[in-house]
């Protein structure tokens, strides 16, 4: 899955797509895992596993964990 960057906060884009960004490993895992989907809403990245929300990433604030998931270890 490719993460769409339209309407995404610029701070979050840097954290996800810069080589040394905080979330670059997380992004690679999202793109690799077929069970995960990611949608940009309100400039934040909402991450789902099998249709259930597990995580919300924002540019300047801390990640919001919705459900415990193995993806959280990448934070």
> What string of pLDDT tens digits covers the 75 residues of the chain?
778 888 999 999 999 999 999 999 999 999 999 999 999 999 999 999 999 999 999 999 999 999 999 998 888
In the chain, the N- to C-terminal Cα span, in Å, equals 19
Q: Which domain holds residue 32?
A: 10-74
Q: How far is CA 22 from CA 26, 28, 50, 51, 57, in A?
A: 8, 12, 25, 25, 11
Q: How many domains does the chain have?
A: 1
Residue at 5 is within a domain: no
pTM higher than 0.85, yes or no? yes
Residue at 70 is within a domain: yes
Residue at 1 is within a domain: no
Residue at 25 is within a domain: yes
Q: Is 64 helix (H, G, I), strand (E, B) or coil?
A: strand
């Amino acid at each position: 899955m490719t993460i769409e960057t339209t309407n995404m906060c610029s701070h979050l884009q840097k954290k996800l797509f810069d080589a040394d960004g905080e979330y670059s490993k997380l992004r690679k895992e999202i793109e690799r895992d077929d069970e995960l989907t990611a949608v940009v809403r309100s400039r934040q990245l909402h991450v789902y596993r099998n249709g259930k929300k597990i995580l919300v990433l924002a540019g300047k604030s801390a990640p919001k964990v919705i459900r415990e998931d193995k993806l959280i270890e990448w934070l």
